[in-house]
């Protein structure tokens, strides 16, 4: 818990006025922030927890959340207009991969919301949820997980095994990600989504792969102007997919 308390102390200097709440155990940090948003909490709130009893990822999948071993963080941001809402996960994925790349090399985005190593093992995940005209951005990072459940062991990895400068406490990881999120959201507002889209395409491992998602099978060839993955089917049809469980075939 001490490293998380350090985050709250550092945040007072780095981001005056931003509320940072450090909790010992929650169902999920997204649950806490959603409740706060419904109660009128302004954007900027950050909630971190030492453990989650019901951590979850996109699509209702669970998130392995052992005490003291991962970064379990959610923050509340302004919601853009409806036409740009689907772009939010793209911006957030860029922020997380950028922040984590300051600590470890060879990371990429697996569309739509996973941060993976070169061999495809999952290091972090992102869950964005709309509530009360705001967006809750939930971020989970395996920081110092010593062992994973059998069903995850071959597909997950922990930062402490790949970090270049040795183990990092969770406050360092959180600060890197939150700083990057501020930067990328600022760039999105100033430069527009096209600039974001180009960088995303450079940092994703999905483009060029043969994939299947939501019953659509083909080659992932691009990202649309609203953030959808573009899959080219064998019959030549180009199908945009806005969300779903992606399976890489080859």
Domains of the chain (ranges plus CATH)? 2-203 (3.30.930.10), 210-248 (2.30.30)
pTM of the predicted model as reported, rounded to 2 decimal places = 0.93
Q: Of all residues in the chain, what percent are helix, strand and coil, respectively (each to 5)?
A: 35, 30, 35
Are 26 and 52 in contact, with CB atoms under 8 Å apart?
yes
Confidence (pLDDT) at 83? 63
Confidence (pLDDT) at 54? 85
The predicted model gives 99-104 an average pLDDT of: 95
CB atoms within 10 A of CB 4: 22
Residue 168 has pLDDT above 80, yes or no: no
DSSP per residue, 191-234: H-HHHHHHHHHHHBS-TTSEEEETTEEEEEEEE-TTSPEEEE-T
Confidence (pLDDT) at 250? 83
Q: DSSP character for 89? A: H
The predicted model gives 5-11 an average pLDDT of: 86
Span 186-231, pLDDT tens digits: 999 999 999 999 999 999 999 999 999 999 999 999 999 989 999 9
Span 115-164, pLDDT tens digits: 999 999 999 999 999 998 999 999 999 998 888 887 887 889 999 999 87
Please provide residue 7's backbone torsions phi and psi, each rounded to the nearest 5 degrees.
-60, -45
Residue whose C-alpha is closest to residue 28's, from 140, 153, 171 = 140
CA distance 86 to 118: 26
Are 23 and 49 in contact, with CB atoms under 8 Å apart?
yes
CA distance 139 to 117: 17
Range name among 16-20, 47-51, 146-150 with the lowest pLDDT average:
146-150
CA distance 114 to 121: 9
Residue 239 has pLDDT above 80, yes or no: yes
Cis preceding linkage at 63, omega within 30: no
Q: DSSP character for 46? A: E
Are 76 and 49 in contact, with CB atoms under 8 Å apart?
no
Residue 62 has pLDDT above 80, yes or no: no
Residue whose C-alpha is closest to residue 131's, from 38, 26, 242 = 38
Residue 1 — very low, low, confident or very high, per pLDDT cuts 50/70/90? confident
The predicted model gives 53-72 an average pLDDT of: 82
Residue whose C-alpha is closest to residue 125's, from 135, 116, 133, 136 = 116
Residue 167 — very low, low, confident or very high, per pLDDT cuts 50/70/90? low
Residue 65 has pLDDT above 90, yes or no: no
CA distance 238 to 72: 37
Confidence (pLDDT) at 243? 87
CA distance 134 to 35: 12
Residue 86 has pLDDT above 80, yes or no: yes
């Amino acid at each position: 818990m001490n490293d998380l308390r350090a985050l709250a102390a550092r945040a007072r200097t780095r981001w005056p006025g931003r509320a940072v709440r450090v909790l010992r155990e929650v169902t999920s940090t997204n649950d806490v922030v959603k409740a706060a948003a419904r109660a009128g909490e302004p954007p900027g709130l950050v909630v971190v927890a030492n453990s989650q009893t019901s951590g979850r990822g996109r699509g209702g999948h669970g998130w392995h959340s052992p005490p003291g071993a991962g970064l379990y963080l959610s923050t509340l941001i302004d919601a853009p207009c409806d036409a740009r809402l689907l772009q939010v996960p793209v911006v957030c994925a860029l922020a997380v991969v950028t922040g984590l790349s300051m600590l470890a090399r060879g990371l990429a985005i697996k569309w739509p919301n996973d941060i993976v190593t070169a061999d495809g093992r999952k290091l972090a995940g992102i869950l964005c949820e709309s509530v009360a005209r705001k967006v809750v951005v939930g971020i989970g990072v395996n920081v110092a997980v010593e062992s994973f459940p059998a069903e995850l062991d071959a597909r997950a990895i922990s930062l402490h095994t790949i970090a270049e400068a040795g183990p990092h406490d969770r406050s360092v990881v959180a600060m890197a990600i939150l700083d990057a999120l501020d930067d990328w959201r600022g760039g999105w507002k100033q430069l527009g989504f096209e600039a974001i889209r180009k960088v995303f395409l450079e940092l994703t491992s999905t483009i060029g792969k043969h994939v299947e998602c939501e019953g659509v099978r083909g080659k992932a060839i691009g990202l649309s102007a609203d953030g959808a993955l573009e899959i080219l089917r064998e019959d030549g049809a180009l199908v945009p997919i806005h969300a779903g469980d992606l399976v890489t075939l080859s």
